[in-house]
A and B are shown apart, each in its own frame.
Chain A
Amino acid sequence: MMYIIDASCISPQKEEGIFSDNIREYNSDKYHSIEPSYSDFIPNSILRRMGKGVKLGVANGLPLLKKHSDIKAIIIATSSNGLTDSSKFLDQLIKYDEGTLTPTNFVQSMPNSLAGQLALLSDNPCYNTTHVHTGSAFENTLVDGLLQLKQNNIDKILIGDVEEIADYNYRLDIKRNKFKSEPISNKDLIKSGTKGTVSGEGSSMFVLSNKVEGAIAKIVDVRSLFKAPKSVLKEQCLDFLSVNNVNINEIDLLVLGYNGNQEEDHHYDFIADLFPSATTISYKHLVGEYSTSTAFAMYLSIGLLSGKNLANNLILKDAKRSVKKVLIYNQYQHLHHNFILLEQSID
C-alpha cells in the first residue's frame, strides 16, 4: 500500500489559487512558477551555481526531507531539469569553438542533478534515481516508489517532479509547433478550440509511506500505456479499474489533462464519456502543459480528497459528488497515456 503523508508544491499558482477561483491569470504561452525566496532554503554559496530546476526542486523537496528524517529513497521525474545549463554550455562550446570551457554548466546540465543535490543537502545516502521518460516520467516514479516501499526496512520515501521552461526547450518547442499562435488567457485555454497549447513548469513533491498513520490520501495504482488506440485505451482503462476492484460508477472525480489543443483533447472527451456519473475537471489552465504535469494533478487531487474546496474554474461537469475516489488520466503528445487511481485514506 502506498499512502501520501505529506506534499508540497511550487507552481504558476499560489496555494490559494489551486483551491479557489482566485487564480493567477496568464496571457502568454509561458506559465512560470511563482518562485519562493530561495535563500530561505539554500545557502547562497551553492545557490549561485544552481540551475532553475534544481533551485525549484530543492526549495520544494528539502523542507520535506528535513521534516521527515527517516526518508529512505529520493525518486525524481523530470524532462527538462538542467536544460538551461545545457544551453549555456552549448553557447560556450560554439563561442569558443571547443576551446577552454568551464565545466560548471556541464555538471549542472545533468537531469539527475536535483536528486543528487537533495541527497547531498539532506545527507541522505539512500536509494536515489531520476526518471526522464517525458510523458510517463512521473508515473514511472510512482511505480518505482511502489517497488521501493516493498523493500525491507523502507517505509518512507520522497517522490516528485521538477520542470523548468528554459529558453532552449521553449524555442525548440516553438519550432515543433507545440504552442498556440494566438495570445489567449488561461481562463479561456481549455475551450479555445484551436491548435497548440502553452508551456508550464513547477515542482510537486510527495512523502509516501506504506503505513496509514497521518495519511492525506492513498495511491491505489498507476498504469502507463504507449501509443494506445482508442479501443486499447478503453480496454486498459476498464482493466485498470477492474484489477483494483473499482467499479466505473465509484469514480467520483475524473481529473483530465485537457490542454486546449484541439488536436489532442479528443482523448479526454473519449475517457470522460466512459464515466457519465463522475465530476470532471481540468487543471492545465492553472499550470500550463509539461510532461510531468500529472504530479501537479496529483497534488490537486489529494487536496480535494482531504476536503479542500473544489474551485468552479476547474469544473467541466459537476456531478455534485463528495470526493472519495479519483482517477487522473493524462496523455502526452499522443504517445504516452497514463492513469493514476487515488482514494481517500481512513486513518
Chain B
Amino acid sequence: MRRVLVTGMGIISSLGNGCKKNLDALKLGNTGIKKAKHFKSKYADELLFGEVPFSNEDLSTLLSSNKIQVRNRTDHLAQIALNEALIDAEITASQLSDHKTGLISASSTEGMCNTDEMYSDAKSDQPRSEFIDSYEYGSHCIKLAEEFGFRGYIDSLNTACSSSANGILLALRLIQSRRLDRVIVGGVESLSKHSVNGFNALQIVSDKACRPFDENRDGLNLGEGAAYLVLEAEELSLNKHIYAEIKGAGNANDAFHPSATSDNARGPVLAMQLALQSADLDARDIDFINAHGTATLNNDLTESRALKSIFTDAIPPFISTKSYTGHTLAAAGAIEALFSILSIKEQHLFSELNFSEAILETNLHPFSGESRSAKIDNVLSNSFGFGGNCTSLILSNYP
C-alpha cells in the first residue's frame, strides 16, 4: 500500500499563531480557555471560550491577500493556517495548481460568524452585505482555492464535530489509491452566536474551564481555530522534512441518536477498531490517545467505556486537548491530529488540564500533572460528532 506522509503543518488556535506557539503552550500546560475579548455575544461575559487571541483587524495584517476581496473571521483563520502549512512543506505554485493535488477543508460555521449580517441578508429587504457569498457550506474552501490556486479535487465535508478527521481519512484514501498524489487537508471554525447559542440550548456548555474525563465535569467550552496538514505520497516526500505517517483511519456511525452517543459506545468502538485494522496495528501498539473528550457528561462516559472495551490489557496514556483549546467543532479533528503529530515529533506527552477525580463508573485517569518526554510511535486520535459520526485516526512515527 502506498504510504502517506505529513510534510507540512499549520495552525492558529487559542494557544496562538503557528506550530511553535501551540507546541510551547502544550508543553508548559498553558490553557487558551479564557474570557473572550473579541467575540460579541450576550454570552461573551458569562462563559469561557478558546478564542484566537487576535481581533479581525489584527488577523488581516497577519496574511495579506491580493486575490480575495472579502474575508470573514473564518477565512482569516483558514488562510493563515493553510499558508503556514504550505510554506512549511515548501509547496510550489505549480504543485498547488496540479490536478493531482487536492484540497479538503471543513467548517461548520462558515460565514455564520457574521450572524447579524447573515440575518439581515436572509431576512430583510436591506441591501446585501459584503459577506453575502460567505454563508454557503464550502464557501471558505472556495476562497482557499481561489487564494492559493488549487485547481483539481476540492472538497468540504460536514460530519459535525468529526468533519476534519473525516477529511484526513478521505485524503489518506485518495493518495493510497493513487487518485491524488498530494492533499492539503484541515478545518476551520470561528466563534459564532449561532453555534454558541445552539450548544448552550442543548445545555452542554460549562461556565467554567472544561474538565474532560472528570467525575465533576459539567460541559464543554467552545473554541475556534484552524489547522491544515500537507499529506504527500511517500515517493514525493524524498528529501523533505517528515513529521509523521497517516497510518490508518476508521469511520463508523453510532446509529443511536441525532445528538447523543449510545450507552454501549457502538460507533466509537467500531471507529477505533476500523482504524486499528486499517493501520494493521494492535491495540497494544498505541502509545498515546488524543481523546475526543469534550467534557460533556454523555461523551466522556461513552468514550471511557469505548476505550476500556478496545484496550483490554491496559489503557495507554490519554488526554483531551480540548482542555487547552475548547471544542473547535469541525476543526477539532485537524487540530487534534496536529497536536498528536507534535507529540510524536517531540516524543513528548502533553498533560491534561483541570483533572482531579476519575469518573466513578470507569475509573480512567487521563495523563495529568507535568508534561514529560516519552516514547511515542503510534497515536490514536478520536473525533465524534452529532449525527452519530465517529472517526478515529492513527498517526505514526516515520520511518
Contact = CB atoms under 8 A, between A and B. Distances in A.
Contacts of A89: 194, 197-198
Given A79-B136, A119-B253, A171-B123, A136 B389 contact: no
Bin the interface of chain B by size.
35 or more
A275 interface: no
B252 A126 contact: yes
B156 interface: yes
B24 to A, nearest CB: 35
Given A98-B41, A171-B122, A103 B154 contact: no
Interface in A246-285: none
A119 B158 contact: no
Nearest to A107: B259
A111 interface: yes
Given A93-B115, A147-B174, A134 B136 contact: yes
B166 interface: yes
Residue of B99, B118, B123, B201 with highest tally of chain A CB at under 10 A: B201
Nearest to A335: B142
Contact of A125 (B139, B150, B198, B254): B254
A286 B184 CA distance: 38
A172 B266 CA distance: 40
A110 B387 contact: yes
B91 to A, nearest CB: 17
A102 B201 CA distance: 6
A75 B115 CA distance: 29
B295 to A, nearest CB: 18
Interface string A82-106: 0000110111011001101111001
A127 B392 CA distance: 12
B155 interface: yes
B255 A110 contact: no
A116 B387 contact: yes
Contacts of B259: 103, 107
Contacts of A100: 201
B54 interface: no
Nearest to A96: B197
A112 interface: yes
Given A131-B156, A226-B152, A120 B258 contact: yes
B235 interface: no
B138 A79 contact: yes
B201 A101 contact: yes
A124 interface: yes
A74 interface: yes
Nearest to A221: B179
A225 B253 contact: no
A103 B197 CA distance: 9
A113 interface: yes
Interface string B34-54: 000000011100000000000
Bin the interface of chain A by size.
35 or more
Contacts of B122: 87, 90, 168-169, 171-172
Contacts of B156: 131-133, 137
Interface string B187-223: 0000001100110111000000000000000000000
A124 B198 contact: no
B160 to A, nearest CB: 5
Interface in B157-183: 157-160, 166, 170, 173-174, 177, 179
Nearest to A228: B151
Interface in A212-234: 224-228, 232
A48 to B, nearest CB: 14
A176 interface: yes
A175 interface: yes
Contacts of A227: 145-146, 151
A176 B174 contact: no
A144 B150 CA distance: 19
A233 to B, nearest CB: 11
A89 B141 CA distance: 24
B398 interface: no
A137 B155 CA distance: 7
A112 B145 contact: no
Contacts of A150: 173, 177
B372 interface: no
A123 interface: yes
Interface in A124-157: 124-134, 136-137, 140, 143-144, 146-147, 150
Interface string B243-270: 0000000011111111100000011001
23 contacts: A78-B137, A86-B194, A90-B119, A102-B201, A106-B197, A106-B202, A107-B258, A112-B160, A112-B385, A117-B258, A119-B254, A120-B258, A125-B267, A130-B157, A130-B158, A130-B387, A143-B179, A146-B179, A172-B121, A175-B128, A226-B150, A227-B151, A236-B99
Interface of B: 41-43, 99, 108, 115, 118-119, 121-123, 128, 132-133, 135-139, 141-142, 145-146, 150-160, 166, 170, 173-174, 177, 179, 193-194, 197-198, 200-202, 251-259, 266-267, 270, 385-389
Given A79-B136, A128-B387, 18 more contacts: A74-B253, A90-B194, A98-B193, A98-B197, A103-B201, A113-B387, A119-B253, A124-B255, A125-B270, A126-B252, A128-B253, A129-B251, A130-B157, A132-B156, A133-B138, A133-B155, A226-B145, A226-B152
Interface of A: 74, 78-79, 86-87, 89-91, 93-94, 97-98, 100-103, 106-113, 115-117, 119-120, 122-134, 136-137, 140, 143-144, 146-147, 150, 168-169, 171-172, 175-176, 224-228, 232, 236, 335
State the 10 A-B residue pairs at the shortest beta-carbon distance, nearest first.
Answer: A116-B387, A106-B198, A132-B137, A103-B201, A128-B253, A119-B253, A98-B42, A133-B156, A112-B387, A133-B138
